[in-house]
Amino acid sequence: MELANTINLFNSVNLAAIEVGEHFYWEIGKYKIHGQVFLSSWFVIGVLLIASFVATRNVQRIPTGFQNFMEYVLDFLRGLAKEQIGEKEYRPWVPFIGTLFLFIFVSNWAGALIPWKLIEIPEGELSAPTVDINTTVAFALLTSLAYFYAGISKKGLGYFADYAQPSPIMVPFRAIEDFTRPLSLSFRLFGNILADELAVGVLVLLVPLIVPLPLMVLGLFTSAIQALIFATLAASYIGEAMETHGGEHHD
Amino acid sequence: MTQCILLAAETAEGGLFDINATLPLMAIQFLLLATILNILFYKPLGKAIDDRANYVQGQLDQAKKQKQEAIALAQKYEQELKEVRKQSQGIIATAQSEAQKIVSDQVQQAQQEVIVERQKASDQIEAERVAALSSLEQEVTTLTRQILEKVVGLEFVK
């Protein structure tokens, strides 16, 4: 009896309700969009903008406090882009790769650390924007466009001639690769973050206190790794698209 | 408990793979964010990092240049010091030789003076001896005359 009461209590607080595939729809004209994704993404964007603003409000030659931290972050992002794209070409790609990493990282961590579920919205529930496949597919498609753009701007239409390298047999494989890359990028991120949220959710539902903590910590780790993987792969694809046959880059 | 897990993947609307206008809007939103972050974050902080790297490199180059200058200056001073030391040694040697010369000159002069004085003294002695001898001779003559006068008489003495 007592146990049933406890379960009822938890259910009434709605700490652990898991709703997958339920969305809070907004309608713009005849199009429908997922409101909860935008709400949480605006939070993420807000965090990033505020952090950037605070860090660059008064840029000092000898950095202190938050400027120091954000410079460390920027150094990390530059390193990420430089390692994959190469010393010569990486600079214009830092905003794209960096924003990918920062957005995904802050989204994932916000999803894991902020008790979104306590904020009630009419339908569905708030969570990390990366739990929605629209977000991850959008990022993956942007990455695809980015590396097509990088390849074509570097080599013109000769970029597609590279598909036949080293032998024309490669053409179908390379063409398939162009579809599988965005697919794998989007599904890896979507699947990992959704699975993590589900696993934590189910565990919280079963044993609400303390027991889910290790899994949540692991979730934070996974979240960070997923952001790193997405950004690294995006940079690597862009770098690969710009790579010339001599293979002189990656220094 | 299971009723809390609502898997709506099968419903007509919604579901896990409900791809709709969220996708392009999210892409546009992302590109906007990247642009704004570029203006607000990547550019200013990137510039700050690059400027600092340049500044440090500049300071390092300047320090290197100054060190080289200092080394060159030290070498120059050392060279000058060596020359001055050589000069001073020369001056000392000259002074010493001059002093030696003066000393030897003076010694020589003194010796000469001594010789002259000795000569003078010996001349004087000689003159006095001659004078004494002549006076003695005269005395002897006088005495002899007196003796002769006494002995033989005055008329035989001439």
Report ipTM for this prediction: 0.84
Q: CA nearest A114: which of A124, A102, A129? A: A129
**pLDDT score for B42:** 92
- Please name the helix (run of DSSP H) or strand (run of DSSP E) that holds residue B102, with its range, or none: helix B43-152
Percent of chain A surpassing pLDDT 90: 35
Q: Mean pLDDT per 10-residue run, chain B (158 residues)?
A: 41 67 88 93 90 93 96 95 95 94 94 94 92 91 88 73
pLDDT of residue A8: 52
Residue A250 has pLDDT above 70, yes or no: no
Q: Please name which of A213, A242, A230 lies closest in space to residue A142, comparing C-alpha atoms.
A: A230
pLDDT digits (tens, 9 = 90+) for A35-77: 888 889 999 999 999 999 999 888 888 888 889 999 999 999 9
Interface check for B44 against chain A (CB to CB < 8 A): the answer is: yes
Q: What pLDDT, on a 0 to 100 scale, did the predictor assign at position B7?
A: 43
Asked if pLDDT for residue A83 goes beyond 60, the answer is yes
**pLDDT at residue B61, as a whole number:** 96
Q: How far is B44 from chain A (nearest CA, A)?
A: 7
Mean predicted lDDT score pLDDT of chain B? 87
Residues in chain A within 8 Å Cβ distance of B30? 99, 103, 138-139, 142
Judged by CB atoms within 8 Å, which residues 88-117 of B form the interface with A?
Answer: none
Cβ atoms within 10 Å, residue B86: 10
Contacts of B29 in chain A (CB under 8 A): 38, 41, 45
d(CA A25, CA B81): 90
Number of Cβ within a 10 Å radius of residue A178: 13
A100-129 residue pLDDT tens = 999 999 999 988 888 877 777 777 778 888
Span A144-162, pLDDT tens digits: 999 899 999 988 888 888 8
Q: Is the pLDDT of residue A2 over 80?
A: no
Q: Is the pLDDT of residue A186 over 80?
A: yes
Is the per-residue pLDDT at A246 higher than 60? no
Of A101, A146, A142, nearest in space to A241 by CA: A146
Q: How many beta carbons lie within 10 A of that of residue B80, not counting itself?
A: 10
Task: Give residues 120 to 179 of A whose Cβ lies within 8 Å of B.
Answer: 129, 132-135, 137-139, 141-142
Which of A56, A60, A117, A207 to mutate: most B Cβ within 10 Å?
A: A56
Q: CA of B42, closest CA in chain A: separation in Å?
A: 7
